Amino acid sequence: MNIKTVLLAALLAVPAAGGAAESEIMLDRAPIDSHDVASLQRGARTFVNYCLNCHSANYMRYNRLHDIGLSDAQIKDNLIFGDGKVGDLMKIAMEPKDAKQWFGAAPPDLTVIARSRASHAGSGADWLYTYLRSFYRDPSRPTGWNNTVFPNVGMPHVLYQLQGVQLLKEVQEPAPGYTRTVARLVLDRPGAMAPIEYDRMVADLVNYMAYMSEPAASTRATLGMYVLLALSVLFVLAYMLKKEFWKDVH
């Protein structure tokens, strides 16, 4: 293969790459704050009540919730159902083989989902925040639900009673010099929560899932600041020592 052939292939590949980028779903920015303890606690409650029935978090222990201000009694009374212990992993009773038989595939573990979904389009938290707000009714799917972020998703919309039922409809939108037809999610039947309340609840849930994916992130950042401070002091001392050693050298 000569150099002209290589250059031609590279030029032809550029528009294709640009078209692929334009076709990607735009993610909404997740309004999360890892220092908002109240939000993390609300998110943990939502996660246990709505996600931990089918999805496990096998690499997370309940007692790590001490980091977000919960005591053993609060964890035991509000987040553990059955005879589980505070030191247990966040496992589920459903066996993977049974889940595969019932759903076609075992629901994935969610411990590090907020990290694994990160891409150039946005963080994993952005993906989760947009995904959990983008379900719509689709009678052609086995579950009756589909998702604009994850087309042909196998998971049903477990939060629909809170959000309501959305439909994907074509609507007319004004554009410079013309009117274009675009697909938009439209709330067809309201849920128990107003849209702003539902978005806030999802933000709390995503905030907790982002924390769960790396519970030591805050500690690591604090240690990093101390290390940089120590290195700065050592740099000053090393510079002063160097000047002392070389002061008589001409």
CA atoms within 13 A on the CB side of 129: 22
pLDDT band with cut points at 50, 70 and 90 for residue 18: very low
17 in a structural domain:
no
Tell which wins on pLDDT, 181 or 43: 43
157 in a structural domain:
yes
Percent of all residues in the chain with a pLDDT value above 70, rounded to a whole number: 88
153 in a structural domain:
yes
pLDDT given at position 11: 37
Average pLDDT value for the chain = 86
Which two tokens mark 218? 């805050």
Is the pLDDT at 90 greater than 80, yes or no?
A: yes
12 in a structural domain:
no
**Is residue 127 within 8 Å of 209, Cβ to Cβ?**
no
**Is residue 72 within 8 Å of 84, Cβ to Cβ?**
no
30 in a structural domain:
yes
What digits encode the pLDDT tens for the residues 30-85? 999 999 999 999 999 999 999 998 999 999 999 999 999 999 999 999 999 888 89
248 in a structural domain:
no
230 in a structural domain:
no
What digits encode the pLDDT tens for the residues 21-31? 334 678 999 99
Domain harbouring 121, CATH code: 1.10.760.10
Following CA atoms 60, 62, 68, 73 in sequence, which dihedral angle do they give, to the nearest 10 degrees? 180
CB-count burial class (<10 Å; 0-12, 13-18, 19+) for 193: middle
pLDDT given at position 88: 95
**Residue whose token pair is 């931990």:** 52
114 in a structural domain:
yes
The pTM score is 0.79
Total residues belonging to the chain: 250
H/E stretch holding 173: strand 164-175
What digits encode the pLDDT tens for the residues 105-117? 889 999 999 999 9
pLDDT given at position 202: 98
Number of domains in the chain: 1
pLDDT band with cut points at 50, 70 and 90 for residue 100: confident
183 lies in which domain range?
22-215
